[in-house]
Structure 1
Amino acid sequence: MTERTETLTRASAPAFAHEGSYVDWPAILAGAVVASAVGFVFATFGAALGLSIISPYDGDGSAMAAAIAVGSWMLWTTISSFATGGYIAGRMRRRVDGAGADEVGVRDGIHGLAVWGVGVLVGAWLLGMTAGTTVQATTEVAGAAATVVEEVAQVTTEGEAAAQVEATTAEAAEVSPAEARDAAETARIYSVISAFVLAASLMIAGAAAYWAASVGGLHRDEGRTFGHFGRWT
């Protein structure tokens, strides 16, 4: 890759100055849209990959293998999608003045970080909406369950109702209290690991978006067209 130089920067700079903002929001939004699309495609493929690894039958599949595969794919999806969006933003950013090579590279990289920030905020908002819907559904189920329990308590004594609930739960679930605690602890550990993997992948993705936007800006200054990918005749 050609290194960005002052000669290359001056040659590619426009002849006019810009007195407004240096932030090119159309380029940022375009990069964020592309990053979201790439992430959705990779996440869909990853979901199919995870379902192929996990098996409902005893002795088939491995929970640890599934966790490793999902974590690795999450890391790859996050980094590659934001890097793609960062490159788009850097390549599409308009040069508005004759700044030096280092300053141009920093501005391109910041546009990549802006793509990353927009993507993270949108993802957090969607996650919050999903969590809110889940909590609301859980509350409604809990309210219905409380109503049922109240009706049962009216026709049976407190001791008989407790014994009946315990017997029904044990018979339906067929899980001992020790097994239930072990399952809850395993779920907690996997949740902690998933949160750390997600946070690490987002931090790495931010750096990747900055770097990719700088590369995109350099290709913009070079006038690189990749014509052999778009010409079929």
Structure 2
Amino acid sequence: MTEQNHNPVTTPAAPGASYLEWGAIFGGAAVAGALATVLSQFGAGIGLAVSDAMPGEDGLSWALFLIGLWLVLVAFASASAGGYVAGRMRSHFGDGTPDESEFRDGIHGIVVWALSTLVLGAGAALISALSSLGAAPSSGEVSEEMMQMMHNASVITAFASAAGAVLAAAGAWFAGVAGGKHRDEGLSIHSFVPAALRRKA
């Protein structure tokens, strides 16, 4: 059994060098964006995004709550995955205390979250603007029931987006710290793969 390396060989950073490694950050942001896209498509595929969102007798819709919950889960999972990649891939310069190294790993996760949030937000705003330009004007009055549904949808979506953003930031931080810890410990990828699925020698 190979002994894990708890003291990796490190090289001090050059004077004036930035501790932010954009290669690791962009890689983590790409993973986060791709995972968010796939999970959103999966949610639409199982009917969360296209299910009947009309309110019931009490003016509520369980479909809207499920959509909001799914938005929170997508944001958390994608940001955590991207943060882990950035934390694991960044270099450990070896010129800081363990607490400082942990902070740098966490910051890489936070920057991944910020970058992916800005890119996805800009894309969503662009799509919304293009959709509004191509939308045909309504020729009839909107029913009170439809107005209630639109109000419920906007409130739940706004709350889910805000909650998802906060949880995603926390997830990206802790995942970045975990990635850095696993990097320093030399943790093998096989630790994440069930024994039944590992390739046999």
Compute the TM-score of the two structures, normalised by the length of structure 2: 0.82
| Corresponding position of 2:151 | 188
Once the two structures are superposed, residues 135-166 of structure 1 have per-residue CA deviations (whole angstroms, 9 ceiling, x without a partner) of 2213xx45xx9xxxxxxxxxxxxxxxxxxxxx
Matched, 1:232 2:193: no
Matched, 1:14 2:10: yes
Q: Is the 8 A contact 1:53 1:66 kept in 2?
A: no
2:35 corresponds to which of 38, 41, 44: 38
Q: Is the 8 A contact 2:12 2:93 kept in 1?
A: yes
CA drift at 1:231? 5.4
Matched, 1:69 2:66: yes
Change over 3 Å in CA distance of 1:108–1:80 after alignment to 2: same
| Corresponding position of 1:150 | none
Matched, 1:95 2:82: no
| Corresponding position of 1:151 | none
Equivalent position amino acid for 1:232 in 2 = R
Once the two structures are superposed, residues 82-115 of structure 1 have per-residue CA deviations (whole angstroms, 9 ceiling, x without a partner) of 1000000000011123200100000000000010
Q: Is the 8 A contact 2:48 2:67 kept in 1?
A: no
SS at match of 1:50: coil
Equivalent position amino acid for 2:189 in 1 = F
Superposition RMSD in Å: 2.7
Distance in 1 separating the partners of 2:172 and 2:52 = 36
**% identity of equivalent residues:** 33
Change over 3 Å in CA distance of 1:224–1:187 after alignment to 2: same
SS at match of 2:61: helix
Change over 3 Å in CA distance of 1:136–1:114 after alignment to 2: same
Matched, 1:125 2:122: yes
| Corresponding position of 1:105 | 102
2:79 corresponds to which of 54, 79, 82: 82
Equivalent position amino acid for 1:79 in 2 = F
CA drift at 1:18? 2.7
Equivalent position amino acid for 1:12 in 2 = P
CA drift at 1:45? 1.0
Q: Is the 8 A contact 1:27 1:88 kept in 2?
A: yes
Q: Is the 8 A contact 1:50 1:69 kept in 2?
A: no
Equivalent position amino acid for 2:32 in 1 = A
Q: Is the 8 A contact 1:87 1:216 kept in 2?
A: yes
1:214 corresponds to which of 177, 181, 185: 177
Distance in 1 separating the partners of 2:178 and 2:8 = 15
From the CA coordinates, give the structure whose radius of gyration is larger.
1
Structure 1, unpaired ranges of 5+: 1-7, 146-168
Once the two structures are superposed, residues 118-145 of structure 1 have per-residue CA deviations (whole angstroms, 9 ceiling, x without a partner) of 111001110121122122213xx45xx9
Structure 2, unpaired ranges of 5+: 1-5
Change over 3 Å in CA distance of 1:94–1:69 after alignment to 2: same
